[in-house]
Each structure stands twice: as structure tokens, then as C-alpha cells.
Structure 1
Amino acid sequence: MHFARRCFGRYDVIDFLAVLGGDAISGERTLETFYARLSPWAGPFMALFGRERLSARLTLSHFLAALSPEPVDALRTLFLSDQLARPLDTQEHLAGLWDRQATRWIVFDIAGTREAARQRALPRTQNSPLAHRRLRPLCAPGYTGRKRGEVARSRTTVLQAHTHQWLATFGNPGNGEYRGELRRAVASIECFCRAHDLTEEHMFLRLDGQYGTGAVLADLGGFSYVMRGQDYHLLDRDDVQIRLHLPPDQPFSRPESHLVRTLYDCPNVAVGPAQQGCQIVVATHPASQREPGVGVERQGVVYERFLTNLPQTAFTGADVVALYLHRGAFENALADEDAEQDPDRWWSHTAAGQECWQILSQWVWNVRLELGHHLQPEPLRTTEFAPAMVPALPQMPSSSGSAPPQVGSFWKTGHFWGADFLLQPDGTLRCPAHHTLLANERRREADGSLRVVYAASIRSCRPCPLREQCQWLGRATTKPRQVSVLLHPLVVGSAPLLWRDWSRRRHRRACRDLLRHQRVEVLVEVARSPGSALSEPIPILSRAERAHTRLSWEDRLARNEKTLTSGRVSLTLFGVPASFATWLGLATL
């Protein structure tokens, strides 16, 4: 990572990144406390990186303030390439989600987090100068959520759901540029696919509710997705209202809640400016006395919307909702990150400096996971995410939900048949004479399909001029016209949903416990006394040095390198397993 500024001084980029990484590993809440604990060991600490001196806190602050977006993007590229170059385990190809057709999927979580900052109220008079806010380049007014503050900064993170490793982080002031950050997150996942020879067809993204509009579907490329919809005006569409007035597909409930949702599958709904087709799963439940935290309430019913393009033959509507609600594990990962490293604390008053700290925080998280896996290797754990589908009858295939409704069938030339009777958004049928047919019967057929019988009023059929084309027996019949709507069962795979991953906390904690309970001996050899000034050779300056020509990258790096005459530092670690030390490349006693 190369970075040049006007007055760089003695130090180079590695000196400052070493301090940032050390602070992220230490877990100290402030930089001041980290420097206080590091000051007795400043020499051995910098010697680990081959450096001579530790930079002061003020110098580090000036470095972060002088950072520009270009070197931070270079650091982000290094972070991702290091992550992709060293997979966690040889069994990584076995992690993932297996659907009901025994097909493997890899899940990624993309969501945003935000940090609010409070600003002191200052008087605004003609005799007072304008207020100077230190966080003005970093934050902007925006949605603060449950956090108190006047300005905020948002951050988009990408997590691999099965290994619990971070892939990227992108920050912006205020509410952020969520579509631009989403495109950059998708580009990081594409790099992951290319590095591991995976196809985009069996990768799917779990997105936060802020992305739940049809406009963002064009930014997802060829990836599948599951997201919560936020544009509830789609509930007013005719095709959605028609489905809501038909019988539901299945109920959905969770063991930790008494809430029972009723699910309706609406396939092939065109959304967004590009009119891209997707499946909308509408979940409804009775409203309570409290205002719903999620969803929209209409006439005593709360409606929630979930958007996906996963195949219906491999995932039921309940599976889609369960996969989205399982994002709670991702929220726990964000909580662990805040507790261990607190990447959203204000490290710098510039955007580039703040992002540099956040990238290194995620890097330390991944390194802890990697070290923990080699310290305490454990096999993958397999969780039955959803049980296998059991058919209602032995001779029937496994099914859940229903295919699009079919209205009647053709029976006689010159007469009206089912296609001439149109389903209406209010749950009725309209005949060619513009009369209304109401549902009066529902019965289950032998093949598992549900038949909904609609009937017209005899008062409408008797004087109708189109009665001979509508009735089987012409004007001789005394019964009104009836039309059946068939909901055929949607056949899905019978295999259970299997989720295979590793523990999120065990490996990181194993690494931290080892560091806390081991003994370290530090030996600093006395530097050789320099000879007299007369015996030292007089340095010969080059023409470039005499003209103060700009230094090269190698010359800049060499100014703070630890020389052989400055004293050798030896560190002896006790309590490290021999196999773990061998993997790290440490010499064992």
C-alpha cells in the first residue's frame, strides 16, 4: 500500500498500520490507553515489523487525516486478496446450504450499520462566528435509528454466512449511497466466486430492508436474493390482490414466538423500472394493540413482503421467510464486532482514515478466525434448517403452496368457458355479461388440488341475453352459472434444508484465550557501542541527496527500518501448542 504526502517524516505506511492493527488486537477502548500499555514495549512491538521507532499519537492522527481514497481502496483490495488466498479449511467446499433438491448454495449477508454523533448546541448570533464541526467531513444529517445524535455515518458490510468471515466494508456520511455500496459489495462477492471457482447460479444474498425495492434488482447481477420489501404499494396491484383473496399456501411460525403468519406466494410479479420478474411472498397476521414494528397494517391485518428469485421447486414460501429471518445470526456477528473491536468508534475525522481503521478491524477478525481454526480444528456442524417435506397421501409427491390459479377448462364450441370469467382484485369472478360470481364452496380433490367454486346469482342469470352461450342446457336450466378455480399443488423436493457452517465465536475465543494465558519473555540485546566520531567514515552524498530529490518508495521505507546495530529483540512464547507453532513457522525449543 503506497501513500505519499507532502511531509511524510521518518515513518512509512507500515508504521501506522502496525499501530492500528495492534490496537484492534488489544481490544482497548481508546488509543490513549493502548499507547499507555504499549509504551514499555514500544521497541519489541515495532521490531516485530522490522521497524525502529513507534510513531506518536499525533503523528498517527496526521497520517489518518492525510489519507486519500486511493490508498484506502488499495488496502481494501489487499484485504480481500489475502482473504481469498487462504481458505479456512480444506473442508470449505462442504459448507453451505442444501435445498430440498439437494443442491448446494452459498449464502452472503449484506446489511448496513450506522453510528450517530452528538453535536453540542452552540449559539447562533450575528456576533458569533460559524461553528466548526470536526465531524463535518465524516458525517452528515441522516436517519440515526435508535441512537441519539444529530449526524450519522453509515457503513455497509459483507459477511460470508457459513465461515463468518468479512469480505468488505464501505462507509459514507449520512444515510450513505446504498445502491453504490451494494454494487461494490456485489463486486467483492464476484471476486470470491472467481477465486473459489464457484458459479453465480448457486449463490444468494440476504439483503437488509433498506434494499427492498425493485430498483436494486438491476444491481445484483446474476445472484439470487432474499430481501424484505419496503414498497408496500405493490400490495395494491391486481395480481397480488387476486392472490390474497384466494386460500393461503401455508402457515409459518417460529418456536420462540407465538405469532403465526399466513403465507401467500405471488410468482412472476414484475417490479422495478426494468420490470424484472420475481416472487413475492406476502405474510399476514392479525394486528395487535401495538403499532407493528415491521410491515403495514390494513383493516386489522399486518402485511409483510419478502422478495426472492429462488426456485419454487427447491424452496417453499416458509423456507424463504425462515432464511430471511435467520439474518439474526448476522446481527449477532455485528454485535460481537462492536464488543471486541468497536469499528464504528471515531478514530479519525476524515472518511479515508475512518475506513482504514474499519478495514483493519475486519482483517483482525478474519485472522483470529483463521488462527482459531488451526489452534482448535473442528469439523463442520450440520443443522436441519427445515424438516423434510411429507406428502399428505403416500401416492402423492411432496408439495407446498400452489401454482397459479386456473379458471375452468374448455368444454363446448360456441359457449363460454373458464377463461372468459376473469378473477377480480376483490376476490370475485366477472362473467362476459359483467355480472359478479361469488365463492360459495371449497373442496379438496383426490390429487391434492383445491377447488374453489364460484356461483352467480339466479337474478342475474335469468334476464341475461347471453344465457344460451353460458349454460349447459340453454334457457331450460333453472340454476345459475358456476365456475371452478383450481389451485394445483406445487411440487417441491422432499429433502430437508441442511445448513452447514462453523461456530462463529468458538474459534475467535480460542485464539484470544491463548493470548491471555500464555507467558512471554522479551530479551533485548544491548546495542553495540558506536566508535568515536573520528573513526567513523564520512558519508559520501549522492547528487540526488544533495539536491534533495524526492525519495523513492524503497528509500522512504528504509528510514525507519531496524538496523543490525540497534539491538536484537528475542521473544519466547510459552503455552503455544507445538503443532500450532509449527504451522506459524516459529522455532520450537
Structure 2
Amino acid sequence: MTSLTASSVNILTTSQAVPSTPSWFGEITVIAHHLQRQDVLTAIEEQVHFARRRFGRYEVIDFVAVLFGYAISGERTLEAFYECLQPWANMLMALFGRDRLPARSTLSRFLAALDQPTVESLRTLFLKDLLARPLGKEEQLGGLFDRQGNRYLVFDVDGTREAARQRALPQTADRPAPQRRLRPLCAPGYTGRKRGEIVRSRTTVLQAHTHQFLGTFGNSGNGEYRAELRRAVTAIQGYREAHHHPEERVLLRLDGQYGTGAVLADLAGLPFVMRGKAYHLLKHTDIQARLKLPPDQHLTHPESGMVRALYDCPDVPVGPDGVSCRVVVATHQASEKKSRIGVTRAGVVYELFFSRLPQQTFTASDVVALYLHRGAFETTLADEDQEIDPDRWVSHTATGQEVWQLISQWVWNLRLELGHQLHPDPVRTTEFAPALPPAHKETPAQAPVQGYEKASVALPWKAGRFSGQDFALQPDGTLRCPADQMLVANERRREANGSLRVVYAASIRSCRPCPLREHCQWNGSATKKPRQVSVLLHPLRVGSQPILWKDWSRRQHRRACMQLLRHQRVEVRVEPALAAASLSPLTSAPLSRAQRAHYRLTFQERLVRNARVSTAGQVTIRLCGVPANFATSLGLSLIA
């Protein structure tokens, strides 16, 4: 038996400390270089101004550099990030053209002192940077293609809530009131699980085809969802104008919290799909009458197998302003367990869907499927929480938390952009809904119904006689004649042209003694049959093309950027500093007390105080494993 001896392995130690570079330092190097090359850092220095006393030598760009590094690193806490960064602090700041790294306490004071104009200036640069460089050419951009071949850009608007954990403290007369650090940031709200928690909400806007974030807007408690929605619409309008896309080809998919008619005025006329929660609309006369007629379509959920009967009701006035809206009512049988969504009446669950999509290009099942498809946004938010976790508490003030969430989404978009440069894959195409059967292959009576138009009745056929238009359709599914008698449906049949004819008939006992019989029957009082009225439901003329969904993978390009240098060698070399140059006029001249406090200097003088001087040692960073084409696109030097 052969045994291994200790002499086969030589273990040597040294007292000299040689720290290893963090695994995320290579990615920070690439992203910082990209931002510098696109003049984003220069724009932050020149356009984002914030003056406050006793900030010493640091400016906004210094703290933005720290937040970018913190978001890219993925460290769970700021303390862990600073511990890993300690040997490489000067190198990180040199990537952003700065000298010293602000301490953690200085960063906390900066985030706590930020004002709203500074946050909005940074938000403007974030959106401007997104619009400056599209991910692909115009003909390669993704989109939703309807049944007539029109291209829509889809945007998802959703709200998330983050609950703040706090200890229960006794509140008695002999004790001071508890001071909650997160109280200015959060407010009592409801997360769906436990009432009475203090929470902070944020509204996020996502381009559904490129998976790029367009903005994040936060508020304490349950938030101000209508104000946040208006800001989200403004960001979407800016994206649309930058890409020269028509307004009628932009589709908003909204969360259920927006499902009231009041928010329709906040959408600036953009097409939308949302789940409605204004269940009082079920009492509307048109909707009640439509529910008594056959459904337009049946939609089967591919996983649960639940079958929904769909009733399409166009031009229904919704909201206090009576905005005309397309309402799709979905019904299914109630189970023993109470349904979490919808309202249950007489053993039937009713769900509402609001939309402004035309019936000629989207059937009722297409509208419902588009809304249910927005569940993919939840997986995007899960990826965001896993990689960056923007909902973590970085600051105890609203403005500081807003800046952190903004920087987090900025890093997300940069990873997507660089990942597309690493792997410029073409857009992928998915058949969202199959093509409809063409009319020339099947007779209209055999073709499947894709929805019905508004019910119509016959026109007047003889002067002085009642026509079908004189018989009003009632919410209970019956007709009411001019003599206030009831007609009930007793026959339904398909016509040769594909229309559905519903025949209503009155009772002979009501027609015989009727004083208006002379104006109602064909042969006047000579006929012995009761009055009949037929209502026609003509099939909708919908485009026959399939609905296509073109997009990119939401993970592949981001993971490619993140994993490119995580396991590669990163070498950092700092050359000795040159001889100190003559002192600048700013440091040689005596400073006043106001200048010493840093709040009376000009913004250019403030930037100079922590700028990396030319006499500082040259920092050389060698990244291994970078593809040549990717390095060339970023303007990085290649070595043999």
C-alpha cells in the first residue's frame, strides 16, 4: 500500500500581506470605463449639483461612484462592501477620476441630506443615458405584432412594497416615545399578509421586450399610485418620442391596483390593458344585457385548465368622467374555496378586464392573455432582488432611498447593454397566439367564432308599424315591447354568413288583448301568432395573422456581463506618484471660514478638491479573459 508523504507538497508562508482583488472588481472596472467613455460621469459632475455645509472635500460624483460599486458588487451590506474594498479604495475612485473614498458615515450623511431636485436631476440623466444608446437597430427591436401586422411597444407598470421590520417597544407614560429611524421613510401600509406594518412602496416601469427599466418612483406607505402612474407615463412618452414610435402603438400593462375608472384620465390616451376592480359596472345595462347573450369566446388556462367564458363589451363608459372603454367580462364557476380575484355571485365568479385595444386586431381572449402574460414581470423583479436588491434599506430618508433604487436600475440597464455587446444575438420570436382560420377555407357557419359585434335588430319595414328597434333589450336578457310586455328568447341558430340569430317571442295571451296589435303584427289584427323579434350577432372581422412577441432573454445578457470577469485574474499595479507639483491657487491662497465649510465655493472649485491630480500614481489594471471584439467596442487596449 502506497501512502502519500508530506514531502510531495511544499507549503510556504510569508508575512507580507498581498490582498486579492474581489471577484466583482473586474466588472466595476469595465462599467466605470464605459460610463467614462460615454461622458456619463462628466454629465453627472456638470449637471447634478447639491450644496450642503460641512461635506469637506466630497461631491455628488464621489458618492455616486460608491453607490455604483456597491450595486455592482452584490454585497449584502455596505459594511461588507467597504471591508472588501479597503485595499482597493483608491483604485476604485481612480476609475471615476476621483481621489479619496468617502467613509461610510459620510455617505450616510450625504444620503440623509439630499434634496428632491438633486434626485430628479440624476433621474433625468438616467433616462437620457438609456435613450442615447438603443440595444439594437430599429428593424431589430422587439415588439408585439397584432393580427394585422402592426407593431406595439409594451411597457409594464407595477408596484412593489417592502415591509420594514421593527421591534415592539413598550409605550407607557413613564417612558419617552420610541424614535423609529425608518418612520420618515415608511408609513403604515398593507402588504397583503399582515396589517399594520410600516412599508415603503415603489412603482417600476419596464420595457417588456428589452427588459430595460425606465424609472422607479417611491413613496411611504401604500404610495400615491396615481401620481406615480403619471410620472411613469411621462417616462414612457419620452421613450416613445426618442424612438419615433406612434402613440397609438404603445401598450401599457397595469397592475390590478390601477383597475378603477379614475386612472384612465392619467394615461394620456395611450392604449392599455389592466384588470378592473370596479365591479359595480356589472350592473350596467349594456353589460347585463350582453351577459344574457352567448359568450364571444372561451379561454382555457394552459396550466390550471380553468375555462373562462369571455363577454366583450365595447364602448362602455367607465369612471367619473365616463371615458369610453372596452370591458371584457370573464366568468367561471366558483369552487368551494373563495376566489381571491373577482366577485362571486350566484355561484359564478366575474372578472373584469379594461382595455383600449381595437377589436379588429385583438380578440377578447387576446386581451385577457396579454394581461395574464404580465406575470413575467414578477420574475424580472425576482431577478432584480437577487442580483441587486434595490429594496434594501440604504438610507433613512426618502431621497437617499430613491437615489439607491435609481442607481440599482442604472446598473441593471448597463449590464444588459454590455451583455448585448458581448453576445449580439438576434431578437427571438414567439407565437403569442396562433393565426385564425382564413374564411375562404371554411364556410362562415363552420368557422369558429372570434367574437361578436354589437347586437343589432331589423330596421323599420312599413310606415306606422313597430320595428325591432322599438323593442328594448333588458338587463335580464328579455325584450320589452312598446306595450310594456315581455319577450323571451326561445331559439338560437347560426346563419349561413356566420351570424348568430336569437329569436324572441311574446306570449299570445299578451298579444291578443293588446291595443297596439294593429301597429305590431305584419297582418295587423288578422294574425293569430304572437309577435317575434330576432336579434342578430354578427361575427367580428378580425385579422387572421398570428400575434407575435419579439424580445430578448432577460437573463442571458446580464449574466454574461456579470460572469465575464468573476472568475478571471485581475491584476492591479500602481506606479509611484510623481513629485508634488506647485500648489494650486485654491490651496495656496488663504481660505475664508465660509470656504473652509465648503458651501461657498463654486461647483468647479468643489469638484477640484477631491479630483485625482495628474501627479498621482498611474493605475494599471489588467483584465484577463476579455474577448477582443468586446474590448475593441469599449475602447480598451489589447495586449498580445
Q: TM-score range by the shorter chain?
A: over 0.9
Q: Report the Cα distance in structure 1 between the residues aligned to 2:185 and 2:584, rounded to whole angstroms.
A: 50
Q: Offset at 1:40?
A: 1.6
- Aligned match of 2:159: 112
1:300 to 2:347 alignment: yes
Matches within 5 A, 1:187-586: 187-391=234-438, 394=442, 396=444, 400-528=450-578, 545-546=591-592, 548-549=594-595, 550-586=600-636
Structure 1: give runs of 5+ residues left out of the alignment: none
Q: Is the 8 A contact 2:140 2:427 kept in 1?
A: no
- SS state at 1:572 partner: strand
CA distance in 2, matches of 1:433, 1:71: 71
2:35 aligns with none
Alignment match of 2:84 (pick from 17, 33, 37): 37
In structure 2, the CA distance between the partners of 1:511 and 1:459, relative to structure 1 (3 Å rule), is same
1:16–1:334 Cα change, 3 Å = same
- State the aligned residue count: 585
C-alpha offsets along residues 384-416 of structure 1, whole Å, 9 cap, x if unaligned?
100111156635499610111012332222111
Give me the whole-angstrom Cα distance separating, in 1, the residues matched to 2:580 and 2:51. Answer: 33
CA spacing shift, 1:146–1:538, aligned 2, 3 Å: closer
The residue aligned with 1:72 is 119
| Contact kept in structure 2, 1:389 and 1:399, CA below 8 Å | no
Give the 3-state SS of the residue equivalent to 2:272 in structure 1: strand
Give, in angstroms, the shift of residue 35 of structure 1. 0.9
Alignment gaps of 5+ in structure 2: 1-47
Change (3 A) 1:386 1:276: same
Instruction: Specify the SS of the correspondent of 1:262.
Output: strand
User: In the aligned structure 2, how far is the partner of 1:146 from the partner of 1:376?
Assistant: 42
* Correspondent of 1:126 among 173, 177, 181: 173
Label 1:79 to 1:399 Cα distance change in 2 as closer, same or farther (>3 A). same
Distance 1:194 1:482, change over 3 A: same
SS of 1:63 mapped into structure 2: helix
CA drift of 1:145 comes to 2.1
Question: Alpha-carbon deviation of 1:16?
Answer: 0.9
What is the CA distance between 1:244 and its match in structure 2?
0.6
1:51 aligns with 2:103: no
Cα distance, 1:24–1:92 mapped onto 2, change above 3 Å: farther
Report the CA distance between 1:149 and its aligned residue: 6.5
Distance in 1 separating the partners of 2:464 and 2:603: 87
Q: Please list the CA deviations of residues 475-497 of structure 1 after superposition, one character each: whole Å capped at 9, or x if unmatched.
A: 33222111101101110111110
2:551 partner amino acid: D
Partner of 2:145: 98
Structure-1 separation of matches of 2:563 and 2:638: 21
Contact 1:399 1:492 in 2 (8 A): no
Letter matched to residue 98 of structure 2:
R
Return the offset for 1:566.
3.0
CA contact (8 A) 1:284 1:302 kept: yes
Instruction: Give the residue type in structure 2 aligned to 1:486.
Output: L
**1 CA distance for matches of 2:68 and 2:585?**
37
When the two structures are superposed, what TM-score results if normalisation uses the length of structure 1? Answer: 0.96
Instruction: Confirm whether residue 15 of structure 1 aligns to residue 66 of structure 2.
Output: no
- The CA deviation string for residues 515-564 of structure 1, in whole angstroms up to 9 with x for no partner, is 21221100011234669xxxx88979777834744211111111112223
SS at structure 2 position matched to 1:406: coil
Comparing 472-481 with 493-502, which one deviates more in the overlay? 472-481
- Structure 2 residue identity aligned to 1:165: Q
Distance in 2 between the 1:336 and 1:584 partners? 26
Within 2, Cα distance between the matches of 1:501 and 1:409? 49
2:190 and 2:197 in contact (8 A); partners too: no
User: Identity percentage over the alignment?
Assistant: 66
